[in-house]
Structure 1
Amino acid sequence: MTFDQAFERLIGHEGGYSTDHNDPGNWTGGKVGSGTLKGTKYGIAANTYPNLDIKNLTLAQAKQIYKTDWWDKLGADGIHSAIVFQLWDFAINAGRDRAIKELQQAVGFTGSNVDGKLGPMTKTKVNEFDVNDVILTLMAERLKFYTSLSTFGTYGKGWVNRCADNLKYAAKDN
């Protein structure tokens, strides 16, 4: 899977400009009412990019941010691309550390081994499993994470639909 293919899928999930006052990601402080309400556009949020002009962000600028700050920095080389896409999409939606921790749990890590780092030990363990098993277990962990959030009642339907779409991609990718 190339970055361009992954980006086309991702942008189908990420909407246009939004200034939902109840979304913590829309605030530069990362909490409702904390900092400035700058919003989210193409999934690029004020809490992660507080100094960015979110409202005037172009699709090309968003694509470059996703490539440089997310795809390149994920460090998932050596893992099957079907898993990489799922991990990358989850990282964008919930944070890189959270996504990697859920991947680590999906392959059986516990305790201090669940550290949110995609190092050699994690990659080796991921590659010991069947691709489908990793994807399905990672998706289960993802859904459990979403349902644990206090904002699930408001945003949960969108998160679950995103997961459903990603399972369809997973079926094609492996």
Structure 2
Amino acid sequence: MPLTFDEAFKRLIGHEGKFTNDRNDRGNWTTGIIGKGELKGTKYGISAMTYPDLDIRNLSLEKAKAIYKRDWWDKINADQIDSAIIFQVWDFAVNAGMGTAKRKLQKAVGVAEDGIIGKHTIQAINDTEINDVLLKFNAERLRYYTSLNTWNLYGKGWTLRVAGQLNYAALDN
């Protein structure tokens, strides 16, 4: 049975629940640059970097869910791609940015990494065995994380998140 947005959101909030205001996390700054702009934090995975005008601290769960549906789920053409894959891409997009997640998915299926999930990318995804997509995508995700200069600070958490995602991939495929 395909994963619905509501179910995916419940899973995501398991990773992205509480308010954080970590000065070392660029996502918590309105400019996306540590020490520049306003330190407004992240709540439910909605960051000041992505939504600098939003009152992050007072964000409701319902508002976060509406943002995720409108700005994230719908913008990755979720209805045209197997839900097992979409959940993986969506979770990574929330954690590392939409463009990064789209490009890593494209790399996993061997198409140009332009960050546009259009008909060419969707066809490549649909032509590739689902387990291959899931495994290659999560491999790209780990490569990306280990390339970041914040790996020593956040790497353990990112790795545990990918481990959880691999468990979901096994359930969803």
Task: Give me the TM-score of the superposition, normalised by structure 1.
Answer: 0.95
Cα root mean square deviation, aligned: 0.9
Which amino acid is the alignment partner of residue 117 of structure 2?
Answer: L
Which of 25, 34, 44 aligns to 1:23? It is 25
Matching of residue 116 in structure 1 with residue 115 in structure 2: yes
Deviations 1:119-158 (A, max 9, x none): 1000101111110000000000000000000011111111
Between the two proteins, what is the percent identity of the paired residues? Answer: 60
Alpha-carbon contact 1:76-1:118 (below 8 Å) kept? no
How far off its partner does 1:96 sit? 1.2
Alignment correspondent of 2:90: 88
Distance between the aligned counterparts of 1:78 and 1:44, measured in 2?
25
Structural mapping, 1:1-174, within 5 Å: 1-109=3-111, 113-174=112-173
Distance between the aligned counterparts of 1:114 and 1:17, measured in 2?
33
Distance between the aligned counterparts of 2:159 and 2:110, measured in 1?
24
Which amino acid is the alignment partner of residue 22 of structure 1?
Answer: N
Deviations 1:7-42 (A, max 9, x none): 000000113111111110000010101100001111
Unaligned stretches of 5+ in structure 1? none
Unaligned stretches of 5+ in structure 2? none
Distance between the aligned counterparts of 1:52 and 1:78, measured in 2?
30
How far off its partner does 1:77 sit? 2.7
How far off its partner does 1:92 sit? 1.1
Which amino acid is the alignment partner of residue 50 of structure 1?
Answer: P
Moved over 3 A (4+): none
Count of residue pairs the alignment pairs up: 171
How far off its partner does 1:2 sit? 0.7
Distance between the aligned counterparts of 1:96 and 1:36, measured in 2?
22
**Secondary structure in 1 aligned to 2:53?**
coil
Distance between the aligned counterparts of 1:62 and 1:76, measured in 2?
18
Distance between the aligned counterparts of 2:45 and 2:78, measured in 1?
21
Which amino acid is the alignment partner of residue 160 of structure 1?
Answer: T
Distance between the aligned counterparts of 1:66 and 1:165, measured in 2?
20
Distance between the aligned counterparts of 2:35 and 2:56, measured in 1?
17
**Secondary structure in 1 aligned to 2:107?**
helix
Distance between the aligned counterparts of 2:58 and 2:80, measured in 1?
36
Which amino acid is the alignment partner of residue 14 of structure 2?
Answer: G
Distance between the aligned counterparts of 1:95 and 1:116, measured in 2?
11
